[in-house]
Structure 1
Amino acid sequence: MSNNVSAKIGKGISPQQFQQSMTKNQAQFAEWFDRFAWQTEEDKQFFESLNNRDDLRCLIIAADWCGDVVRNIPVVFQVLENSGMPVEVFIKEQHEDLMKDFEGKGIPVVIFADTGGFVLGKWGPRPAHVQAIMTEFKASNPDREAPDFQEKMAAVRSQMVQAYGEDTGYQSVVVSELRELLSSF
């Protein structure tokens, strides 16, 4: 993982520009965005308290075709909206250099850095309980060329959808994980 993203600060697009430029999944993204609700007043106040800090920046690597982006980034946008923290989005295919710096192909990657670009922490590509399913799958199925790989991948994606759940309950997990991460610096 790269320790500094200063060369990228100021080169991304705004959350609004990302949403407006979506050519895929825009309606689903908007639906998850609109369905967001704070589960606790304490969580809301924590993110609002970040207005007292001017040392944080958020860089998000995303793409509109990705289901995890469609599910998770509306939550990230909502919780950071009132934080006063500058948020920039980087389209994965246009910023492969940044993607390589953050270990792999999984998106979204939510990077928190200080004003000098020093990386303080990252979140993503999905809540820990959903990511655990993919981590287990990759450990058990290292050969992407295996004849049954795609079939197994389809099954694991189905398990991940079930782990997210049909409603917005997973959103409070994302909020909690982001709060825990931001509380650590």
Structure 2
Amino acid sequence: MTTLMDYFNNGLTLEAYKSQMNVNREDMEQIYEQFDAPHDLRLEDLKDKNMKVIAITEDWCGDAMMNIPVLLKIAEQADIDVRFVLRDSHLELIDQYLTNGTARSIPIFIFLDRNGQEAAVWGPRAQAVQAFIDDSRQDLPSKEDSTFEEKSKEKHKLAHDRYKQTPEFWHAIYHSIANILTQ
């Protein structure tokens, strides 16, 4: 049986993850450069805990594009080692972390303690971001409607653009992750 530490040890480093990206790398790097992470003193307490995190992700995912830069800032503050696991190549892993019991939503961040045991799980969205998505999708026609696909793509573009331009979202993600790590 594959353990979480096996996934971590075989996961991609940040450089390896970025080198295989061809969709959202530039936008992800832009968010990382623009996000001025607050300093949460609670994260200082994690520095000696030797934590690790597995980020289940894919390059095409807009939520990952926005969430990963925030995760990286937290990892820097708390000395957390990060590895990336591609969801579509590891369905057996994502299937253990389904959103609402059914969806293979990403990113999912699995935090491990010094013994390689699951300490916390976060994802795929902070509550404020989910509220924005829910609100923006309220007026979508039914899936049977001939315009659904087109309108859904418009909503995805809107979300992608807002993700790149909304520091309030980045801060909501930061606080959401910091809160689950320091409970």
TM over 0.5: yes
Q: Counterpart of 2:42 in 1: which secondary structure?
A: helix
Identity among equivalent positions (%) equals 23
Structure 2 counterpart of 1:108? 107
- Confirm whether residue 59 of structure 1 aligns to residue 54 of structure 2: yes
Q: Counterpart of 2:4 in 1: which secondary structure?
A: coil
Q: Kindly provide the amino acid, as one letter, of the partner of residue 58 in structure 2.
A: A
Q: Counterpart of 1:59 in 2: which secondary structure?
A: strand
Determine the C-alpha separation between the residues in 1 that align with 2:170 and 2:97. 23
Structure 2 counterpart of 1:47? 43
Determine the C-alpha separation between the residues in 1 that align with 2:48 and 2:116. 19
State the shift of 1:32 in Å.
Answer: 0.7
Determine the C-alpha separation between the residues in 1 that align with 2:139 and 2:66. 26
Q: Counterpart of 1:101 in 2: which secondary structure?
A: coil
Q: Is the 8 A contact 2:23 2:59 kept in 1?
A: yes
State the shift of 1:167 in Å.
Answer: 3.3
Structure 2 counterpart of 1:153? 152
Structure 2 counterpart of 1:85? 80
State the shift of 1:119 in Å.
Answer: 2.1
Distance 1:140-1:168 versus aligned 2 partners, 3 A rule: closer
State the shift of 1:46 in Å.
Answer: 2.9
Q: Is the 8 A contact 2:128 2:172 kept in 1?
A: no
Q: Is the 8 A contact 2:27 2:65 kept in 1?
A: yes
Q: Is the 8 A contact 2:137 2:155 kept in 1?
A: no
State the shift of 1:8 in Å.
Answer: 1.8
- Confirm whether residue 70 of structure 1 aligns to residue 60 of structure 2: no
Determine the C-alpha separation between the residues in 1 that align with 2:143 and 2:121. 27
Determine the C-alpha separation between the residues in 1 that align with 2:164 and 2:18. 24
Distance 1:59-1:147 versus aligned 2 partners, 3 A rule: same
Root-mean-square deviation over aligned CA pairs: 2.9
If the length of structure 1 is used for normalisation, what is the TM-score? Answer: 0.78
If the length of structure 2 is used for normalisation, what is the TM-score? Answer: 0.79
State the shift of 1:165 in Å.
Answer: 7.5
State the shift of 1:140 in Å.
Answer: 10
Determine the C-alpha separation between the residues in 2 that align with 1:116 and 1:12. 17
- Confirm whether residue 95 of structure 1 aligns to residue 90 of structure 2: yes
Distance 1:158-1:27 versus aligned 2 partners, 3 A rule: closer
State the shift of 1:69 in Å.
Answer: 1.1
